[in-house]
Amino acid sequence: MRALIFAAGLGERMRPLTLTTPKPLLPVGGKPLICWHIERLRGIGVHDIVINTSWLAPRFPEVLGDGAAFGVRLHYSYEGETPLETGGGMLRALPLLGDAPFIAINGDIWSTHPLDTLPREPVGLAHVVLIPLPGFRKPGAFESAASPLLRTDAGLHTLAGIGVYRPELVRDQVPGKFSITPLLTAAAESGRLSAGKHDGEWEDVGTPERLAALDARVFAAAQQDLSATNR
């Protein structure tokens, strides 16, 4: 199974940190945020990982290389100076992803969701992980269509930025800049989307303050684990 990590965003809300470093390469717990995703994907047997890039694209191979240091093979899908959003980026990356279902993860999130629970073959066009709607997000058509898939009365849920997708979801779209969310909404409405719920740790690293808080939290947890190991 292959995987796609979305890493092409401009990171405008994270400036000045992202003026010289793409958001997925900002450090969390002593290493770039994207490295946590790469290591977790390798941990479930994914060895071919596509990273879509745009803003400061050369920085990714400079920092990550070809993936050999992580025990994987990294492939880069360059979108040009203007990011193509999730849908356009996924479509552009399809030649590197092949014809089988693949995992896709947002490069600017942090999550403890167990990737080994993701289905290798989604029932419909995609399987997505949902989280309770954060306070900083407004509900829309997707939340109304997808939340009932969980068969819970716990309220609205939204995309966690983790899922398994069939190439057919975007293959027939016109190349260019577009979001994947309307396609997922349509899939949910037509019964071709499945979903799982994540109640564990999750963070959208969308501001410098969130990044600093996450970095401190991850570092503290690592220190606790180290102390427990040395007892």
Residue with tokens 């994914």: 46
Q: What CATH number has the domain spanning 2-230?
A: 3.90.550.10
Across the range 63-84, mean pLDDT stands at 96
Across the range 97-106, mean pLDDT stands at 97
* Amino acid sitting at position 139: P
pLDDT tens-place string over residues 130-154: 999 887 778 899 999 998 888 767 6
Cα 19 off chain centre by: 21
Rounded to two decimals, what is the model's pTM? 0.93
Report the pLDDT value the prediction gives residue 40, as an integer from 0 to 100. Answer: 96
Contact 166, 101 (CB under 8 A): yes
Question: Residue 61's CB: how many other CB atoms inside 10 A?
Answer: 14
The CA R_g of the chain, rounded to the nearest whole Å, is 17
- DSSP state for residue 151 in the 8-state scheme: -
Q: Name 204's bridge partners.
A: 109
Q: Which of 207, 187, 203, 176 is nearest to 89 (CA)?
A: 176
The residue extents of the domains of the chain are 2-230
Residue 227 has pLDDT above 80, yes or no: no
